[in-house]
Amino acid sequence: MVPVDKNQLVIFLLKLGGKLVGGFAYVERTTAVKRLYVFILFYTLLMLLSLSDPIFLQADIRYTHHDFSYWGAFVYPEGNPNLEICIYCHTPHGAITEGAAANAPLWNHTVTSATYSLYASPTLNAVSEQPGGISKICLSCHDGTVAVDSHSGRSGEVYLGPPGSGFGHEGGYLGTDLQNDHPISIAYNSALVSQDNGLRDPLSTPSGLPSGGTITADMLFNGRIECSSCHDVHVPRYDSSTVCLGCHMPAGATHWSTPPPDTLSLRKSNRNSELCLTCHNK
């Protein structure tokens, strides 16, 4: 999301208020209505001025892990041919509209056709299925079978790969073996909760997200847990000077000087396992 300058917003509201108050000269208003308007405007401005945190209006992908516009000679010897940000995933024309991309807005990236080894556990009551929908869109880069820059009809040349693979982009690589990853594309509903008292009922449990809905409303996709239940590629954590630190520790560092529970494009902070405990009743 994009932080909005509080002072600029206050100035805008003051100017707007001045124009509206001026309009009282032309429109007959009662004294009570005038006083109510001034009261609302005054306390709105007071509330904005009292906020210590920035105000957020919309999502933004700049300086996130998924902003590839800054990829330069260290990725492309000839220089990055695509200085656009959105083109790696979206296009205004000729979008992919079939299969897993059917519900992805104006999708532009090649979709994976891989088959995956799935998570299994004696304590798992949900039925595991091959990833589909929005999760397959995510895996189209993260499983390493499709190039990150495979979009707009080009095959691409930059892949995510495991440590030591020589691909040079190890952060975010999952491969096709998902046996050690949180299960995805599984139904999460009241019936599952009745089998596992370690889960919260998604129909009644608040998500804790700004939208203010339940887990089902805010975090599930067709009633299923998907990659985007926890992750949002449009969540910025860094600026232009620190974007690399989203995946890479500083040179010579052996540990994170600042723990990364707010990174990895999480939809909400996982400090004190806050994100995990949204669904897991532990």
> Which residues are bridge partners to 177 per DSSP?
117
Calpha distance 66→69 (Å, rounded):
9
The predicted pLDDT at position 57 comes to 37
Q: Does 121 fall in a domain?
A: yes
CA-based angle 190:282:123, to the nearest 5? 65
**Quick one: which of 129, 135, 87, 85 has its CA closest to 112?**
135
Separation of alpha carbons 37 and 35, rounded Å: 5
- Domain boundary, last residue among 166, 182, 198: 182
pLDDT > 70: percent of the chain: 62
Do residues 116 and 170 share a domain? yes
Q: List the structure tokens of 138.
A: 């995510």
Give the model confidence (pLDDT) of 98-114 as tens digits. 999 998 999 999 999 99
Tens of pLDDT, residue by residue over 178-210, are 999 999 999 999 999 999 999 999 999 999 999
What confidence tier does 166 reach under pLDDT thresholds 50, 70, 90? Answer: low
Residues 99 and 178 in one domain: yes
**Mean pLDDT of the residues in the chain:** 77
| Residue of higher predicted confidence among 67 and 143 | 143
Query: Of 115, 147, 182, which closes a domain?
Result: 182
Amino acid, single-letter form, for residue 163: P
φ and ψ at residue 159, rounded to 5 degrees = -115, 155
Domain enclosing residue 46, as ranges: 3-56
Query: Residue 133: what pLDDT?
Result: 86
Number of structural domains the chain divides into: 2
Tokens 């499709």: give the residue. 146
Which residues does 102 contact at the CB level (< 8 Å), separation at least 6?
A: none
* Phi, psi angle pair for 107, to nearest 5°: -75, 140
Identify whether 190 is part of a domain: no
Highest mean pLDDT among 37-46, 88-97, 151-160: 88-97
pLDDT value, residue 247 = 55
Q: List, in sequence order, every residue forming a beta bridge with 206; answer none if it has no partner.
A: 214
Average pLDDT over residues 12-27: 48
For residues 102-131, give the mean pLDDT.
94
Q: Mean of the pLDDT values across residues 125-148? A: 94
Band the pLDDT of 75: cuts 50, 70, 90.
low
Return the pLDDT at 68: 78
Residue 233: per-residue pLDDT: 86
Residues 6+ apart with CB under 8 A from 78: none
pLDDT tens-digit series, residues 209-262: 999 999 999 999 999 999 999 998 887 665 555 555 555 555 565 554 554 545
Structural domain ending residue among the three candidates 127, 159, 182? 182
Bridge partners, residue 186, by sequence: 225
Residue 47, domain member (yes or no):
yes
